[in-house]
Amino acid sequence: MGYQRVAFLLALITVVGLAVQCNAGVTSTYRRRLAASVDMPLDADVFQIPSGYNAPQQVHITQGDYDGTAVIVSWVTADAPGSNTVKYGKSKNNLHLSAEGNVRQYTFYNYTSGYIHHCLLQNLEIDSTYYYAVGENDSVRQFSFKTPPAIGPDVPYTFGLIGDLGQTYDSNSTLTHYKANDDAGALLFVGDFSYADNYPNHDNVRWDTWGRFIESSAAYQPWIWTVGNHEIDFVPSIGETVPYKPMSNRYPTPYSASGSTELFYYSVRRASAHIIVLASYTAYGKYTPQYQWLQAELKKVDRTQTPWLIVLLHSPWYNSYNYHYMEGETMRVQFEAWMVQYKVDVVFAGHVHAYERSHRISNINYNITNANCLPVPNNNAPVYITIGDGGNIEGLATNMTEPQPSYSAFREASFGHAIFDIKNRTHAYYTWHRNQDGNAVAADTMWFTNRYFNPTNDS
């Protein structure tokens, strides 16, 4: 087929010197400078505090409801609580609407946060650019975002993908490359935000710098949050016994809109996609709230309205690097059969600091007394993509299991981001971009055909 030939040629061009067979896995031989990933210093340009008394900083937005007509705006003021109001409107010079949010602070060991504001903007018109302003007096700051088109099966929509971002020079390269893509309307973030927990006492100042770092993207398009292990921040040795304290105070999700009872697992619908966010570190065994919620949510998915069923989680179920190997195994055993039953198109994960894409495979036949415990090709199964290569301080995962397992289609230890570009109900074009190349270059590509409307052998 045409797309296979294109993908094959691209693989040959970008992965020089490899003998690629049509369905064999590729371990990229791309050579990059292997250097430590160094956090940007506190006085880096991307961490700059906006000027003006009590000026809003760390501005970010996320989807605020199930279907994309609401947005949660969040920001921090450093000196005083200030105003909780967001003024907004469809004309840049006339922000005639306003919504009132709330403000909170938290402490973490000897750190005290700034004043953290969250404000829900509701009943937004679809497919519209909104301008919004936060702050008071001389320190008002204005931003904008675009609401998605109405839910519908053939609505084109482009999602970005970043994981395990952190705040190093490599993180800056990843975010810069991502921002160069003008088409992406929302970012699917697969967990591990700031890596503040790598500092003494989980120095939460690094949560603030991270918030300022991502603002240049996250204030203008929703980042859909998945929780990672670096958000747990559980440190009994310094008296911090409430897990997820920084994340849950700073990064809200619209969990209740999808009937979830916890911040960390939920789902949103956007354009032609139904996105299910799972929590790798919240109980998922049978009878747990997450299990019951997912069981009910999968039944609510209407592929005739949202043909593209996308699952996000942190700890990958299929990963052939020698890092976090099989950590996602218990969740895979619990939920993989549902992914096949409901024909999920793609599962994105992070956690492993490298890139990998699988074939469509499943491993759901084992029952303790039989020996059916190997992954097998399965056209109803999702493609599994690990995109934990945002560029954090812990560096690249370079050590891979050998030989490359048959389920692994492509793997490369480089930092980068990905784009999932939905064209219509049958086709989506997926590209992965390594930071060493210009944004226009795709180092890995795949034409996805939809599992519900067009389940061809695409992987």
Ligand X SMILES: *[C@@H]1O[C@H](CO)[C@@H](O)[C@H](O)[C@H]1NC(C)=O
Interface residues toward ligand X, by CB under 6 A: 40, 44-46, 53, 110-111, 136-137, 169, 172, 176, 201, 322, 367, 369-370, 399, 423-424, 426-427
Cβ neighbours of 145 (radius 10 Å): 21
For ligand X, the closer CB: 330 or 426 = 426
**Contact flag: residue 412 with Fe ion (CB under 5 A):** no
For Fe ion, the closer CB: 55 or 354 = 354
Cα 447 to Cα 3: distance, rounded to the nearest angstrom: 7
Q: What are phi and psi of 97, to 5 degrees?
A: -100, 155
Of 91, 89, 60, 53, residue with least CA distance to 74: 60
Among the residue ranges 123-131, 220-228, 238-246, 396-404, the one whose residues contact Fe ion (CB under 5 A): 220-228
Give the one residue of 351, 353, 360, 417 binding Fe ion; rule: CB under 5 A. 351
Cα 97 to Cα 125: distance, rounded to the nearest angstrom: 13
Choosing from 202, 230, 314, 324, the catalytic residue is 324
SS3 sequence of 29-77: CCCCCCCCCCECCCCCHHHCCCCCCCCCEEEEEEECCCCCCCEEEEEEE
Residue 268 contacts by C-beta under 8 Å, 6 or more apart in sequence? 63, 65, 66, 67, 68, 224, 254, 257, 258, 275, 277
In the complex, least distance from residue 266 CB atom to ligand X, rounded to whole angstroms: 29
**Contact flag: residue 395 with Fe ion (CB under 5 A):** no
| Residues 355-384 as x/- pattern, contact with Fe ion by CB under 5 A | ------------------------------
Q: Using CA atoms in the order 404, 162, 127, 130, what is the torsion angle rounded to 10 degrees?
A: 180
- The site partner of 351 among Fe ion, ligand X, none (C-beta below 5 to 8 Å per kind) is Fe ion
Q: What are phi and psi of 229, to 5 degrees?
A: -65, -30
- The site partner of 228 among Fe ion, ligand X, none (C-beta below 5 to 8 Å per kind) is Fe ion
Q: 60 an active-site residue?
A: no
In the complex, least distance from residue 7 CB atom to ligand X, rounded to whole angstroms: 14
For ligand X, the closer CB: 177 or 314 = 177
Token representation of residue 48: 């700059």
In the complex, least distance from residue 113 CB atom to ligand X, rounded to whole angstroms: 11
Question: Strands 408-412, 355-358: parallel, antiparallel or unpaired by DSSP?
Answer: antiparallel
Among the residue ranges 276-284, 335-343, 347-355, 410-418, the one whose residues contact Fe ion (CB under 5 A): 347-355
Q: Tell me which residues are annotated as active site.
A: 324
